């Protein structure tokens, strides 16, 4: 066990890429990495202890009882890429740490990367732009060296020549570079008025680009379905507000804030969370021991009341089967 990292089972990997992701604007990075882990599929093999990097700032109250919430998890997954020469490690965190502790936090992850002889690190981020949600998002990149930048540019990907990438999705790559790693960040365009909700279209665009660069294949059918559903909901909202971009032209800042507020109310749960809840329901139907994990997820997002009947039905069906 590395200090602060619990290794469940150490895999043997070939010069792996390390992909890192945290929640951020449009949930582009977190959703992309989560989708990658699920569809490859990748196997969990280590966990970064949150104790030194996160702290509790509140208690939760459910049904009149007060409890402390769990600290955010950061997990490592691996994938042996039989179709290519290099395997993958994915680090996926539920939250970004206090940036005052970012240096030490990053060095924990970097220590694991060195142990597995990682040569290239990949991060993902969102790139808010004055475009509407029907726009096919462009993917941009920035790299840690001119040599790597030239290699990626040959694939026809847009180079981000100036700017900044905020939060851990940008900061980690800079810290990794100072430790001698090479790497690049892929940025998917999202509309300015949708930065606080998931953007499956940008996730799809980023993952397609990533697959081209590192030589893997993914099934994107569920992302395509999510994109269509999300666009329909946004279209309904824009029609209601009479702010259709195609009709009204560029959306003003005041209108952007109004849309963001309403979208936040209409999309209480990110799509990835809804998918996880549905998966836990399916698992609990087969194994009732999963009900505790399901209840914790429902409580975490404060939606138990919305799912209460379905949750209690799990136990009723178990009772009926035993009879």
Give the C-alpha separation, 247 to 228, whole Å.
20
Give the C-alpha separation, 312 to 323, whole Å.
17
Domain ranges of the chain: 5-250, 268-323
Give the C-alpha separation, 314 to 243, whole Å.
44
Mean pLDDT, contiguous 10-residue spans, the chain (323 residues)? 86 96 93 96 96 87 89 95 92 90 95 95 94 89 96 95 90 96 97 83 97 94 89 76 52 61 54 76 88 82 76 76 60
Write down the pLDDT at residue 270.
61
Write down the pLDDT at residue 254.
66
Q: Give the closest residue to 26 by CA, choosing from 301, 298, 235, 272.
A: 272
Pair 126, 25: CB distance under 8 Å: yes
C-alpha distances (whole Å) from 158 to each of 131, 139, 149, 155, 206 are: 17, 6, 10, 9, 12
Write down the pLDDT at residue 90.
98
Write down the pLDDT at residue 229.
85
Q: What is the pLDDT of residues 223-255, one digit of tens each?
A: 999 898 888 877 877 776 655 544 445 556 666
Give the C-alpha separation, 61 to 64, whole Å.
6
Write down the pLDDT at residue 77.
98
Backbone Cα Rg of the chain: 21
Q: What is the pLDDT of residues 147-189, one digit of tens each?
A: 999 999 999 999 999 988 988 999 999 999 999 999 999 999 9
Write down the pLDDT at residue 318.
61
Q: Per CATH, which fold does 5-250 belong to?
A: Rossmann fold (3.40.50)
Write down the pLDDT at residue 248.
47
Backbone angles phi, psi at 3, to 5 degrees: -60, 120
Q: Which stretches within 155-270 are classed as H helix? A: 168-178, 200-214, 221-241, 245-248, 253-266
Q: Given the DSSP bridges, would you call strands 17-21 and 120-129 parallel, antiparallel or unpaired? A: parallel
Write down the pLDDT at residue 247.
46
Pair 153, 159: CB distance under 8 Å: yes
Residues listed for the chain: 323
Backbone angles phi, psi at 109, to 5 degrees: -65, -40
Q: What is the pTM of this model?
A: 0.75
Write down the pLDDT at residue 308.
82
């Amino acid at each position: 066990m590395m200090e602060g990292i619990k290794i469940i089972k150490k895999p043997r990997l070939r010069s792996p890429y390390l992909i890192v992701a945290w929640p951020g604007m449009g949930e582009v990075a977190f959703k992309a990495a989560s989708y990658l882990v699920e569809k490859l599929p990748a196997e969990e093999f280590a966990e970064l202890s949150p104790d030194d990097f996160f702290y509790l700032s509140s208690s939760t109250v459910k049904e009149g009882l007060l409890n402390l919430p769990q600290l955010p998890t950061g997990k490592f997954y691996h994938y042996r890429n039989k179709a290519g020469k290099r395997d993958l490690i994915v680090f996926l965190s539920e939250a970004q740490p206090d940036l005052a502790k970012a240096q030490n936090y990053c060095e924990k992850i970097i220590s694991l990367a060195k142990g597995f002889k990682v040569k290239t690190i990949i991060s993902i981020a969102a790139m808010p732009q004055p475009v509407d949600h029907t726009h096919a998002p462009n993917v941009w990149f920035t790299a840690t060296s001119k040599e790597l930048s030239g290699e990626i540019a040959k694939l026809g990907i847009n180079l981000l020549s100036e700017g900044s990438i905020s939060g851990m999705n940008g900061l980690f790559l800079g810290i990794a570079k100072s430790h001698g790693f090479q790497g690049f960040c892929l940025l998917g365009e999202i509309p300015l008025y949708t930065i606080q909700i998931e953007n499956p279209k940008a996730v799809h665009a980023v993952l397609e680009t990533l697959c081209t660069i590192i030589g893997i294949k993914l099934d994107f059918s569920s992302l395509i379905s999510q994109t269509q559903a999300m666009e329909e909901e946004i279209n309904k909202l824009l029609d209601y507000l009479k702010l259709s971009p195609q009709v009204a032209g560029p959306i003003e800042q005041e209108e952007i804030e109004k849309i963001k507020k309403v979208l936040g109310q209409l999309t209480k749960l990110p799509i990835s969370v809804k998918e996880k809840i549905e998966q836990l329901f399916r698992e609990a139907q087969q194994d009732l021991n999963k009900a505790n994990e399901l209840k914790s997820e429902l409580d975490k997002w404060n939606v138990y009341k919305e799912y209460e009947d379905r949750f209690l039905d799990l136990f009723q069906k178990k009772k009926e089967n035993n009879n």
